[in-house]
Structure 1
């Protein structure tokens, strides 16, 4: 008998999109699954349309994020994991589409290679315009799945691509403090310190939706919003992986944090986590370099200068 897969989907305000996602799950050629939807307190008709769709299929269940948990997809993912019963875990997004052999292809790869997880591939699409680019085009070489290569973005995947045995997931969870994208990047960087017994499945198994409203304006990599987001991802991930003693990767993240923090300071913004940065930077780079970083931030904020101090701080 086939082993059950738990598909866990966080949902927020997807009344016009989520039914396409659920329909793609129903069409899977692997029938032994449960789908746990966790609503993040939607303010539109998402809950209503989901209830109408799932009432005739007991494999679906709908829950609401408990109010004592932080808002966001990560809390919903963790909560859904706690409710799940499957031998395998598949996190998925509420606006994307599983191709019919998504689950079966990943499970077949796990079983054939005696792996703990499998990573498929995705292709972006625009409704009414067809398929577009791929989210990641990094090489998928045998033996390349490890925390350092992933963390330094030598390889990559989206959450939808990943299917895993639940037994190897208990030691890591999604960071619920994240309120920005990059949450899955943080999660998989942590996970790969614990387990690298994975296999690539070089087959498009997911169509990832690109929204029209996001296409008209390209990402401004010099905006405060973007710089702030990347600084948070760098700092939080460096902090989260400290327990794994991967100093090379920790220093890489902290070096990135310092550079983005400095750029924000040049624009007149006190960077995120600045008041917590000294100790962690000192522990990886030394006190002198941590002091140089602090000095560079004050120089940037007050005088729009300080690059020389920053260079001293980030020397490996």
Structure 2
């Protein structure tokens, strides 16, 4: 199986992440560490491990791929040799059973991916790992796509193992700087039969301000623009596969109210290419939406009193 880890100036944290990979109970893996052009001492810090453990490869992203996480991951995907693919970040910690339990699920079921629980932590990582192999689970398929897109069924970064077939015809969109995972997951999940979700914590994500997610939370302009681009791509994918419901159109049009400066509503309509009557219906919906949300807010406040 193949672990792909993109890295950029994470010398402060990456050694702990790499050690959590070495401590996996499942041992048959390769780890492709893709340096996105960092300028710190990451490679030197990892040198003792790289020299002794041939399962690790330290590579520099080539000019064929755009700078950034999507390009680095695409480079790793093009090199990966394993039957299964998983992405780890360079500042997080994987549970020792992460690979073992995911491979077990994928090998015994006719499924394409294994989702698990990811939790966040701040400061020093301290955890008494739960090594139990008893947990509940449920299946996920394309009928769940609306819940996934609306984040009612979360697909967190680095919390899914995929079969290599999932990425046979899918790659990350390299110009996206945010929501690139969300966009590619939508394409994959609507292209495969089903996956499984296991209710066990197998990944620990470090929380700090120096991250793409932090940029989005702080309304970084490039991340906001990337999100609107990703929405347009997701809608185009669902339309092509004839899986676009009124529910999800309504959801994204409501989201577009927050992105007027990116002209998201008009871009959604252009992507949908609806008949004139249908387009008019959504234009009227959008026109009256602020008022409806205003009165809904009043209703909810009264309901909670």
Q: TM-score, normalised to structure 1's length?
A: 0.75
Match of 1:288 among 277, 280, 286: 280
Give, in whole Å, the separation in 1 of the partners of 2:87 and 2:44: 22
Match of 1:238 among 226, 229, 235: 235
| 1:279 correspondence with 2:236 | no
Q: Which runs of 5+ in 2 are unaligned?
A: 128-135, 293-305
Equivalent pair of 2:238/2:244 in contact (CA under 8 Å): no
Equivalent pair of 1:234/1:256 in contact (CA under 8 Å): no
Q: CA deviation at 1:277?
A: 4.7
Give, in whole Å, the separation in 2 of the partners of 1:80 and 1:292: 46
Counterpart in the other structure of 2:87: 91
Give, in whole Å, the separation in 2 of the partners of 1:59 and 1:258: 47
Match of 2:195 among 198, 201, 214: 198
May I ask how many residue pairs the two structures share in their alignment?
278
Counterpart in the other structure of 2:207: 210
Larger relative contact order (CA 8 Å, sep ≥ 6): 2
Give, in whole Å, the separation in 2 of the partners of 1:220 and 1:32: 38
Deviations 1:206-237, CA, capped at 9 Å, x for gaps: 111112678xx99868x574765543432232
The alpha-carbon distance between structure 1 residues 263 and 210, as it changes in their structure 2 partners (threshold 3 A), is: closer
The alpha-carbon distance between structure 1 residues 17 and 30, as it changes in their structure 2 partners (threshold 3 A), is: same
Q: CA deviation at 1:291?
A: 6.5
| 1:60 correspondence with 2:51 | no
Q: Secondary structure at the match of 1:49?
A: helix
Q: Give the CA RMSD over aligned residues.
A: 3.3
Q: CA deviation at 1:48?
A: 3.0
Q: CA deviation at 1:106?
A: 0.8
Equivalent pair of 1:121/1:204 in contact (CA under 8 Å): yes
Give, in whole Å, the separation in 2 of the partners of 1:95 and 1:142: 29
Give, in whole Å, the separation in 2 of the partners of 1:148 and 1:291: 22
The alpha-carbon distance between structure 1 residues 278 and 310, as it changes in their structure 2 partners (threshold 3 A), is: farther
Counterpart in the other structure of 2:177: 179
Counterpart in the other structure of 2:159: 161
| 1:149 correspondence with 2:147 | yes
Give, in whole Å, the separation in 2 of the partners of 1:95 and 1:161: 14
The alpha-carbon distance between structure 1 residues 264 and 103, as it changes in their structure 2 partners (threshold 3 A), is: closer
Q: Which runs of 5+ in 1 are unaligned?
A: 132-139, 297-306
Equivalent pair of 2:2/2:30 in contact (CA under 8 Å): yes
Give, in whole Å, the separation in 1 of the partners of 2:147 and 2:3: 27
The alpha-carbon distance between structure 1 residues 73 and 252, as it changes in their structure 2 partners (threshold 3 A), is: farther
The alpha-carbon distance between structure 1 residues 243 and 47, as it changes in their structure 2 partners (threshold 3 A), is: farther
